[in-house]
A and B are shown apart, each in its own frame.
Chain A
């Protein structure tokens, strides 16, 4: 094998004034060969991003310090290299692709100019004409349509996938030996993700670039990696050819990650088919009107004629990509926003058009758990106050509320002593449990979980899903589970509704939909899920 483009040896990064851990990365060594795709996998806090920043020389020195080790890029030592030299190398020999393409691009410059800027700063001697030509060539390389026109666009005029393509074009501009991609597809929809992954794979083979790909998603690893490195708490626990790591994991942690991964094979419904209907949604429509003084007003249908029934004890999954209207649907049903048209029937009455003040009875019956557990808890309230808020609203005495809070803490698996603590003292998974407890405190019949596990690591995700499953069977809850993640939907849902552009395009028992999708869009969506082949095989093993 030829000389590796990247050679990391015994890298250690210390956390200054760190609490429970003194090092973010401890004794990490690995190589990236030319034209090789190496995936660094791990959950949040595993040190994968810190490793990447160390290589780029972009460590946040306020609280992290590279204490030991060597990083060689094409044989040149980077540890201790001057800032000027590092700046020179960044862009020309190594480049980075970030998670969020919108923040990686400057919103006030045209995308073509931003690619040109990379060329101008690093390769002097190119004429204006040559630069123009190269920009167009790069944009064609990343398969952007109509580069001649698109180069004059601003980042906000492009879609998320197109923006990420621009960022990749910028990274490729100087034909670097190494590209570091830090969760480059995490913020994208599955179908876009699939396109970007195949694009990266193709370009990498063509440009013979070594890629260090950082991800938390084992599906992505299965899709593109040559080699996989699994990290846990700052250490490498397993390393090897991707297929081998995924199919024959040696380390306990890797096995745990793989087991925690929901499998895209649905189970048959687990609720009584003739259970009473607790919620009936009929032709629900939400229209957003864009009023304008000078132009004709436009209206957009975010949710367009959606109908479904929810029975006691049923978990219905609403799946779809961003912009499909699934969150708007949830907010309409929860009456957090007004409904434009249609009916939402709960215990015989239509709540779709009720004014806010008449909704208290309905609010009690229907509770919601939100996507981001970091933002859905008021940072200035204690756990007892958070869980107790709803109970105080329905007039429960302090004693009863405390009693119920304790029972709920048992239910979600947290200790009673946590009641006086604040949200920031908990991990993401624990916070999401508190959110669930807060919702359950109202003893609802219906729970809406809006992307409730999307912000969590897979192992934590598994725990929260288990908890929801357990609660469903114990309390006979009806759940509307909104997610973009098909594997999660397959794992927990009895019935599935696939949404696309505000409409439900497919609706049926999860087993049927997953086994034999009927609608064209559903098929596309399923095909795009990363790592379906490899991980699918594993299930059969």
Chain B
């Protein structure tokens, strides 16, 4: 298994090679620029995304509205840039919560055999329900807010993380140094914290990028379906949803948020792929250029 070979790899070594991997560098650059733009929109682009100017309805891209305007005369550029904030926040928070909870469940069921069966069957149960349906149901019950959305998108992601971590822990607990630690009388929580957890980080970072990318898409899909945030908080999903009706006369309404969504997801995935190549010695040579 890749996990065991990864352990032999000195940590300092891989930190250096990360920056030699083109995929990582490209993904990282695009992602960081999108993050910076989203964080600093109010400073760099002083247009209110909810400023309705009826006279400027459905204007194509021009000098004053570089991405054009929508059916209410709102500036698409401002909406797309502010929308990025929600998408990024969603991606980051969902990845964080899914990884934290998933790792906790994974480590517990990987190390304690008694709990394994119970926890994993619950995870199997969760995996059966299509993520988007679960999210729609949750939003329908408790109304759309950033908090519900994050919860709704996180829950379906947890089982995947938990399974990944459980697999790693199952093989790590057989490692000689874990056995050695038991022999030294190291208490269980210390074994988990010092010997097992640090060695799951590599695959987890990679998994986190995939979770983030999928969260961005799920959020957009939910907004598109009308189960997302209301339109006074612009998100890429609800901008596209609103633009759907005017697609034939004003394609820019959909094109720009779509483009940003694609760039964001692509850059996160590139980063994930690159990191996987770097962190997994089996494929590190092919990934390096």
Contact = CB atoms under 8 A, between A and B. Distances in A.
Interface of A: 62, 334, 336, 359-360, 363-364, 367-368, 370-372, 374-381, 389-390, 393-394, 422, 424, 435, 438, 442
Nearest to B10: A424
A32 B242 CA distance: 80
B199 A438 contact: no
Contacts of B10: 379, 422, 424
Contacts of B9: 379
Given A389-B184, A422-B10, A370 B199 contact: no
A222 to B, nearest CB: 33
- Looking at B11, B184, B185, the one whose CB has the most chain A CB atoms below 10 A away is B184
Contact of B177 (A336, A364, A377): A377
Nearest to A337: B179
B130 interface: no
B186 A389 contact: yes
A54 B150 CA distance: 57
A393 B194 contact: no
Interface pairs A-B: 3 shortest CB-CB: A390-B184, A376-B176, A363-B185
A393 B183 contact: no
Given A380-B198, A380-B199, A336 B186 contact: no
Contacts of B11: 379-380, 422
Contacts of B65: none
Contact of A394 (B176, B185, B195): B185
B232 interface: no
Interface in B140-195: 175-177, 179-187, 190, 194-195
Contacts of A371: 176
Interface of B: 7-12, 175-177, 179-187, 190, 194-195, 198-199, 285
A62 B194 contact: no
A375 B177 contact: yes
A448 B184 CA distance: 13
A367 B183 CA distance: 7
Given A367-B183, A381-B194, A390-B186, A62 B177 contact: no
A376 B183 CA distance: 11
Contact of A393 (B12, B184, B198): B184
Nearest to A423: B10
A360 B180 CA distance: 14
A538 B199 CA distance: 49
A84 to B, nearest CB: 23
Contacts of A442: 184-185
In this complex, the member of A363, A371, A378 whose beta carbon has the largest number of chain B beta carbons within 10 angstroms is: A378
Nearest to A389: B184
Contacts of B183: 334, 336, 363, 367-368
A479 B179 CA distance: 19
A374 B8 contact: yes
A389 B7 CA distance: 19
16 contacts: A360-B185, A368-B180, A370-B176, A370-B179, A370-B180, A371-B176, A372-B176, A376-B176, A376-B180, A377-B177, A378-B181, A380-B199, A389-B194, A438-B180, A442-B184, A442-B185
A368 B176 CA distance: 11
Nearest to B190: A393
B268 to A, nearest CB: 27
Contact of A336 (B12, B179, B198, B285): B179
A438 B176 CA distance: 14
B185 A393 contact: yes
A372 to B, nearest CB: 6
Contacts of A336: 179, 182-183
Contact of A62 (B181, B184, B285): B285
A379 B180 contact: no
A379 B187 CA distance: 19
A359 to B, nearest CB: 8
A58 to B, nearest CB: 16
A190 B229 CA distance: 71
Contacts of B179: 336, 368, 370, 376
B185 A390 contact: yes
B199 A364 contact: no
B180 A435 contact: yes
A263 B198 CA distance: 44
B184 A438 contact: yes
A371 B179 CA distance: 12
Contacts of B185: 359-360, 363-364, 390, 393-394, 442
A62 B11 CA distance: 21
B186 A375 contact: no
A393 B176 contact: no
Contacts of B180: 368, 370, 376-377, 435, 438
Contacts of A424: 8, 10
A375 B182 contact: no
Contacts of B194: 378, 381, 389
A362 to B, nearest CB: 9
Nearest to B175: A375
A188 B204 CA distance: 38
Nearest to A442: B184
Contacts of A380: 11, 198-199
A378 B182 CA distance: 13
A355 B221 CA distance: 53
